[in-house]
Structure 1
Amino acid sequence: MNKTIPLSVPYLSLDILKNLEETIRTGWVSTGGRFIQEFEMKVADYTGVKRALSCQSGTAGLHLALRALGVGYEDEVIVPTLTFIAAVNPVTYTGAEPVFMDCDDTLNMDLDKLETFLKEECRHVKGRVINKRTNRTVKAVIVVHVFGNPLDFDRLMAIRNTYNVKIIEDATEALGSFNLSGRYANRHCGTIGDVGVYSFNANKIITTGGGGMIISHNQQLLEYAEFLSHQAKADPLYYTHDEIGYNYRMTNIQAAFGTDQIDRLEGFIETKIINYKLYEQALQGIEGLTLLPFREDARANHWFYSLYIEKEKYGMDARELLRKLNDHNIQSRPLWGLIHKQKPYVKHQQFCIEKANSFEGALINIPCSSSLTAEDIEIVTEVLTPQTKSHFMVPPLLARLR
């Protein structure tokens, strides 16, 4: 039986046991305890913001961000169609409607089409952006840094400032990623827009098992999001509630994981970049198989690795290759189904979606865990190499790391 190589699993150290032991010994296992504040401070320090607010998940963080920005009924939010559906569902939680936007070659939202939509498909009345087709106010844009690849911040914020729409950064995949040039150089994904959100799900670059984090330079926004996440409790002692709130708080046990994981983040990113380069070198020359690049003018965290398959050149399509990899106990997955085609969203507005259609059904993700070894990469590459090729040769960089 072949060794199982998982797609993306956390790299955990037994050093974390002392934190977990403290939560058990003190009884602080739920939504209070010192590790919550410690983890928030560490994330804020790492990303260069004044404060970070922990929450129950990345999805909860997006919901709180939308509520804190005042998004509600009769509003619209522009969202990408190429992303995980959790980036879009919170829009509907608020009663607002999503408008779906195409991607570019990086898989991120096509900012040219975003600007065209805001300029040509909307009216601008007294600071409001109104969709001509629906007469609804376009209140915000959710952008996702897909697989850890940052958007062009300068262009994004120029659009934000010109058209007066709020920007929510879904940085759930992009903790540790930033641009290397431009006005926003070296500022982390999640810290550029009006509000940013991270996720610590088990497959993310660091994990708390679950959980998320909201960051913003707007302290009033964070305070309101915190209020909502505590069931909108208006009095610290008495059970007075002025609004509908949510139980969206992170637990102390989750944060106990996070305080250890955040200290290891830069090491995880270094490993992921090395492993990406190993794949890149090993897959050179395989016709019809392209490892999608990360932006050269950014320090991407290289969270997920994507292969683009051209059936005519490679000899099999993405679905066939996916089956082959999994038959060899190599966990891999297809690209998400485009959200504007999903049953709950087929009737919602979409704008000039073209590029995303070309990626759907042609991309797969291959193993990328922080614990992935050179030997694992060699096994994956051997399976990816067509049998018609000559015997698989270990690339020089991979051989040196053995």
Structure 2
Amino acid sequence: MNRQWMEFTENIKRLYKKDFVALHEPTFNGHEVNYVTDCINTGWVSSVGSYVTRFEEGLADFVGVKRAVAVVNGTAALHIALKIVGVEANDEVLIPSLTFIATANAVSYLQAIPHFVEVDEKTLGINTIKLESYLREIAELHQGDLYNKQTKRRIKALVPMHTFGHPCMMDELVAICDKFKLVLVEDAAESLGSYYKGKHTGTFGKVSAMSFNGNKIITTGGGGAILTDDEKLADYAKHLTTTAKVPHRWEFVHDEIGFNYRMPNINAALGCAQLEKLPKFIEQKRDLAKFYQKVIMNIEGVELLKEPAYAQSNYWLQTIMLDERYKRDELLDFLNENGVMSRPIWKPMHELEMFTECPKMDLTVTERLEQSIINITSTPVGVK
């Protein structure tokens, strides 16, 4: 690698004042210790406690939805979100192939079939033009449901994923769902603090799912949430994730197969403290994107993935895109060996062994992007 890339790594290490900089570390500089200690001192550490309610209410208020149901992780959130909107065994669910494995796994947990669709090379979200053309070709409406003419299966839902916090083209996706009678379920795992035309992501579909894993913009250790404006769906989600136990002072009666998915109070205590710092984290991440733009502007053949013109992104993971002169893995080796932890984007879902037989549209862009995308250090930090 040339001198410019060595300067790139040195600039990052100077910014973070470290000889080795992790990809994304949690930042605990608020009331986390106090709130967690309170859980321990009072004994309320499991799935019942005031911090769970407080976190749910604070999250719902920040995003702008009526209800948030806190669960153990983002995968569980998406699993339940799909279940409560009626995804059933043998249904097909449209998802991008360029996504984290959780999106495809959540579909599979319901014995439904992931149906992989193409992304846009500028936003990394679902390519709406190609998707609509594809559905016109391979699907047909019958008695209010969309069916795949090739497989004869119902296509029930569409799950856009806001990749690295950059919002998808939601107006177009909502229109597609209306036209083809699909349920819209947003995978907003990465986009807390991101807005599409001034409206927070995760508020366009019937339900959405968020993640608070250790590397997310805020963390509860492990954790996720189901978001919705539908009170009945929220109540059902809470019931299902509490093992479907019928409320009673002492009896254990469960009225259907449920899931032990509720977020523990001690994790929610972390989340409450993190929510208090969220505006600052977003500000720092957006400043970090400006820093990277200046650092890489003179390096040929590379560009920073920027927020779309219609959106405001949280820049959860800073992302660089390489042109054909680069071999992705050679640059990854260089960056990691020189103290800047970096990683490639996920292997496309349709290339994983368990999903190779799933239906898919032409995924040429997805396959090309896999070889050109690198995530770089993204921990919130004071740049100014």
TM-score (norm: length of structure 2): 0.93
Task: Write the deviation string for residues 35-93 of structure 1: whole angstroms up to 9, x where unpaired.
Answer: 00000000011111111110110000000011101111121101110011111101111
Partner of 1:211: 223
User: Does 1:62 find its partner at 2:72?
Assistant: no
Check the 8 A contact 2:203/2:228 in 1, yes or no: yes
1:356 to 362, 366, 383: 366
User: Does 1:191 find its partner at 2:207?
Assistant: no
Q: Which runs of 5+ in 2 are unaligned?
A: 1-12
Partner of 1:26: 42
Deviates more, 1:335-344 or 1:114-123: 114-123
| CA distance in 2: counterparts of 1:24 and 1:38, whole angstroms | 17
Alpha-carbon distance, 1:161 to partner: 1.2
What SS class does the counterpart of residue 143 from structure 1 fall into?
A: coil
Task: Write the deviation string for residues 207-242 of structure 1: whole angstroms up to 9, x where unpaired.
Answer: 011100111111111111111101111343422222
1:75 to 91, 98, 108: 91
Partner of 1:113: 130
Check the 8 A contact 1:198/1:213 in 2, yes or no: yes
Structural mapping, 1:259-270, within 5 Å = 259-270=272-283
Structural mapping, 1:1-400, within 5 Å = 3-13=19-29, 15-105=31-121, 106-180=123-197, 186-236=198-248, 237-312=250-325, 316-371=326-381, 374=383
Check the 8 A contact 1:113/1:352 in 2, yes or no: no
What SS class does the counterpart of residue 78 from structure 1 fall into?
A: strand
| CA distance in 2: counterparts of 1:53 and 1:129, whole angstroms | 29
| CA distance in 2: counterparts of 1:311 and 1:325, whole angstroms | 18
Check the 8 A contact 1:64/1:225 in 2, yes or no: yes
Check the 8 A contact 1:118/1:129 in 2, yes or no: no
What SS class does the counterpart of residue 248 from structure 1 fall into?
A: coil
Partner amino acid, structure 2, of 1:104: D
| CA distance in 2: counterparts of 1:14 and 1:188, whole angstroms | 24
What SS class does the counterpart of residue 123 from structure 1 fall into?
A: strand
Task: Write the deviation string for residues 349-378 of structure 1: whole angstroms up to 9, x where unpaired.
Answer: 11111111110121110101113x54xxxx
Once superposed, which parts of structure 1, at least 4 consecutive aligned residues long, lie more than 3 Å away? Answer: none
| CA distance in 2: counterparts of 1:329 and 1:283, whole angstroms | 17
Partner amino acid, structure 2, of 1:177: S
Check the 8 A contact 1:199/1:213 in 2, yes or no: yes
Partner amino acid, structure 2, of 1:362: S
Partner amino acid, structure 2, of 1:92: S
Check the 8 A contact 1:50/1:217 in 2, yes or no: yes
Q: Which runs of 5+ in 1 are unaligned?
A: 181-185, 375-400
Alpha-carbon distance, 1:290 to partner: 1.4
Deviates more, 1:303-312 or 1:55-64: 303-312
Alpha-carbon distance, 1:311 to partner: 4.5
Task: Write the deviation string for residues 226-279 of structure 1: whole angstroms up to 9, x where unpaired.
Answer: 111011113434222222111001011110011111111111111111110111
Check the 8 A contact 2:196/2:312 in 1, yes or no: yes
Task: Write the deviation string for residues 164-201 of structure 1: whole angstroms up to 9, x where unpaired.
Answer: 10011000000011122xxxxx2210011111111000
Alpha-carbon distance, 1:109 to partner: 1.1
Partner amino acid, structure 2, of 1:260: A
| CA distance in 1: counterparts of 2:106 and 2:295, whole angstroms | 40
| CA distance in 1: counterparts of 2:160 and 2:131, whole angstroms | 11
| CA distance in 2: counterparts of 1:338 and 1:71, whole angstroms | 23
State how many pairs are aligned. 366
What SS class does the counterpart of residue 200 from structure 2 fall into?
A: coil
Check the 8 A contact 2:125/2:169 in 1, yes or no: no
CA RMSD of aligned residues (A): 1.4
| CA distance in 2: counterparts of 1:138 and 1:22, whole angstroms | 47
What SS class does the counterpart of residue 69 from structure 2 fall into?
A: strand
Alpha-carbon distance, 1:14 to partner: 5.3
